[in-house]
Structure 1
Amino acid sequence: MVRKALSQLLGAALIGSYVLSPASAADKVTFLTSWFAQAEHGGFYQAKATGLYEKAGLDVTIKTGGPQVNGTQLLLAGDADFIMGYDIQVLKGREQKLPLVTVASSFQFDLQGIMAHDDVADLAALKGRPVLIAGSSRVTFWPWLRAKYGYTDDQIRPYTFNLQPFFADKTIAQQGYLSSEPYQALQQNEKVKFFLFADGGYPPYGSTIVTTEKMIAEKPDVVARFVKASLEGWRDYMETPAPGNGLIKADNPKMTDGQIAFALEKLKETKAVDGGDAAKLGIGIITADRYKQIYDFLVAGELLDAKTEWQKAFDDRFVKDLKIGVK
């Protein structure tokens, strides 16, 4: 009861500080995304473009990630205050005693899956076929595919983020994102099927907001304001995305209107932002039950030490009472 009362008191204090802080000088915040600017980052760009961060008393700089950017290193070095992260990455960090903490999610499921040619019935049918995956995928979704569908490591082929090998060989499947690679295939008039891992029970959230224990301890009001404004950005982006899209294209001139429109359509179609637990608990929600599922999945696959303190890998205090987007 005492712990619950303290938690409620902290929640009230965080909300109070959110209301009062805009009257003072803006707090500078750096947020690092996981890749080049795209619709999958739209909520953050929307919050920047429409003044939600400014209203929250924040001066936010959004930096884009990429294949050579190590977000965890930059976060721990103090070069970023928040990064766009991944539950498995955070739990593996906790295994190594790194002070990483997930404070919110963008999507209620991971957007990753397998793109296959249109003769493939389902994920089970890919057993024995070559599959292109990145090196990092060997310790994320690949063990799950092995356990669930009987895949073997001799199926693995290296994925270099170039779709030409997939287009050239009809026997090959490859990893991808629901909102990205299928669009590129469409542009090449290739008929494909996309199998979302989440539909088969793959447990991680998608594009989480990750910070450090130090940030939470020293600046809980900044964490609360950043989370709240970002999730309001996601709510607004899904309704009127034009402001956020303008900044996305400014940060990534190669991003086309067609790619953005396709990604938005997929996010809406699957209710990635406002479906699942978010339908009742609000956009950005993370729960202990879900994190325990992710922990159990990793331990069962011998990808995580069972002694890892998974409860320290997330902090739901910044999202559980917001109810953003709940009607």
Structure 2
Amino acid sequence: MVRWKDIACTAAASVALALPAVAQELTPVTFGTNWLPQAEHGGYYQALADGTYEACGLDVTIVPGGPQVNNRALLLAGRIDFHMGGNLLQAFNAVAEGIPLKVVAAHFQKEPQVLMTHPGQGLDTFESLKDIELFIGENGYQTFYQWLIDAHGFTPGQRQPYTFNPAPFLADKRSGQQGYVTSEPFAIERAGGFTPNIFLLADHGFDTYSTTVEAMDETIETMPDAVRCFVEGSALGWVNYLYGDPSAGNALILKENPDMTQAQLDYSIAKLKEYGIVDSADALELGIGAMTEERIRSFHDKMVAAGVAPEDIELSDMHTLEFVNDGVGLDRKAELTQ
């Protein structure tokens, strides 16, 4: 199986042409995402569409998530090979429960979680959010909001239940609402006719990795070349999606998710780049997908202090750096952005 760092040609099409003429036997693998196809999955669809995965030896099937789909359960049952995790909290809990899986890459350096407020209301600073009602969903309340309480002095009484209907936020100009920087602000702009103030939690200390790739220990041990190909191929897919022509990936997304629009895709890609969601911090020097021990420990310590992560776990049991930090895609990015 081909390794990207050993290939001189960086564009996926060039890589494919550089391979021997003899047909390559591909290894079939399945990747389960955590929601319906969208720009937040763009690098994976790009790598599938432009032949990047195939060039290093994989026949990849992407299984979309959704409200009635639990791809993480399919991973645990051995029915898919890779799963898109949300942030590191799930992996922390997996270790505590004795589940033999590891995070093998983190394709988002920042979680896209934000708080939003109305403009022109004096709610223009992170500190000002402590004085208003905030519409927060149950999962958010049990996770990042507990960190906001512990680290920043927010209070439980501020929280109002969020049912993923923006109407209460739109009606109350002195309120705030959770969202993803790539999604909810776009909806607010169209429904409310204004651009909300955006506060990315990652820029205020919520330093989890996001859009992780999880694999069972058995997969890592028995199919290391396939794991490496998927991790590195995905990194290159993200480079091509963000800095090259994303039309091939977008075409697949639009085909698989008829409710998606080109306008939403364009907005999301712009926000991924503007806020450094995929490509920032260590990824700038180590390549997209980068992780470090220090960063993982930092987030774990914060979550333990907030009471939302198990304390007595061995962090090496929930991740491996074997397949990341090799600078894959940096040359391709330089080529596309020069």
> Secondary structure of 2:182's partner?
coil
Which residue matches 1:51?
A: 51
> Secondary structure of 2:215's partner?
strand
Which residue matches 1:289?
A: 294
Which residue matches 1:112?
A: 113
Which residue matches 1:126?
A: 129
Q: Judge conservation of contact 1:34–1:84 (CA < 8 Å) in 2.
A: yes
User: Residues 49 and 16 from structure 1, CA distance in 2 versus in 1: closer, same or farther, beyond 3 angstroms?
Assistant: closer
Selected match of 1:226 from 227, 230, 235 = 230
Residue 206 in structure 1 maps to residue 207 in structure 2? no
Selected match of 2:147 from 119, 138, 144 = 144
Letter in 1 for 2:233: A
Residue 302 in structure 1 maps to residue 307 in structure 2? yes
Q: Judge conservation of contact 1:249–1:255 (CA < 8 Å) in 2.
A: yes
- Equivalent-residue separation in structure 1 for 2:147 and 2:177 (angstroms): 15
- Equivalent-residue separation in structure 1 for 2:263 and 2:177 (angstroms): 22
Which residue matches 2:98?
A: 97
Deviation at 1:275, TM superposition (A): 1.5
Residue 80 in structure 1 maps to residue 85 in structure 2? no
CA RMSD between the two structures: 2.2
Deviation at 1:42, TM superposition (A): 0.3
**Equivalent residues in 2 for 1:1-327 (5 A)?**
15=3, 24-85=24-85, 86-118=87-119, 119=121, 120-188=123-191, 189-238=193-242, 239-325=244-330, 327=334
Deviation at 1:67, TM superposition (A): 3.0
> Secondary structure of 1:46's partner?
helix
- Equivalent-residue separation in structure 1 for 2:60 and 2:48 (angstroms): 7
Q: Judge conservation of contact 1:107–1:272 (CA < 8 Å) in 2.
A: yes
User: Residues 178 and 208 from structure 1, CA distance in 2 versus in 1: closer, same or farther, beyond 3 angstroms?
Assistant: same
- Equivalent-residue separation in structure 1 for 2:147 and 2:291 (angstroms): 21
- Equivalent-residue separation in structure 2 for 1:195 and 1:27 (angstroms): 42
CA deviations over 1:61-86 (Å, ceiling 9, x no partner): 11111234333212101122111102
Q: Judge conservation of contact 1:18–1:221 (CA < 8 Å) in 2.
A: no
Letter in 2 for 1:156: R
CA deviations over 1:224-271 (Å, ceiling 9, x no partner): 111111111001011211110000111111111111111111111122
- Equivalent-residue separation in structure 2 for 1:165 and 1:206 (angstroms): 28
Unaligned 5+ runs, structure 2: 8-18
- Equivalent-residue separation in structure 1 for 2:69 and 2:130 (angstroms): 33
Length-normalised TM-score, structure 2: 0.87
Deviation at 1:15, TM superposition (A): 4.1
Deviation at 1:16, TM superposition (A): 9.6
Q: Judge conservation of contact 2:101–2:215 (CA < 8 Å) in 1.
A: yes
Deviation at 1:281, TM superposition (A): 0.9
> Secondary structure of 2:69's partner?
coil
- Equivalent-residue separation in structure 1 for 2:145 and 2:284 (angstroms): 29
Q: Judge conservation of contact 1:18–1:224 (CA < 8 Å) in 2.
A: no
Letter in 2 for 1:203: D
Q: Judge conservation of contact 2:2–2:55 (CA < 8 Å) in 1.
A: no
> Secondary structure of 1:318's partner?
coil
- Which stretch shifts more, 110-119 or 127-136? 127-136
> Secondary structure of 1:28's partner?
strand
- Equivalent-residue separation in structure 2 for 1:82 and 1:15 (angstroms): 19
Letter in 1 for 2:220: I
User: Residues 14 and 88 from structure 1, CA distance in 2 versus in 1: closer, same or farther, beyond 3 angstroms?
Assistant: farther
Letter in 1 for 2:294: D
Q: Judge conservation of contact 1:106–1:283 (CA < 8 Å) in 2.
A: yes
Deviation at 1:23, TM superposition (A): 5.8
Number of residue pairs matched? Answer: 315
- Equivalent-residue separation in structure 1 for 2:91 and 2:6 (angstroms): 26
- Which stretch shifts more, 215-224 or 24-33? 24-33
Q: Judge conservation of contact 1:33–1:83 (CA < 8 Å) in 2.
A: yes
> Secondary structure of 1:316's partner?
coil
CA deviations over 1:145-168 (Å, ceiling 9, x no partner): 112322222222222222222112
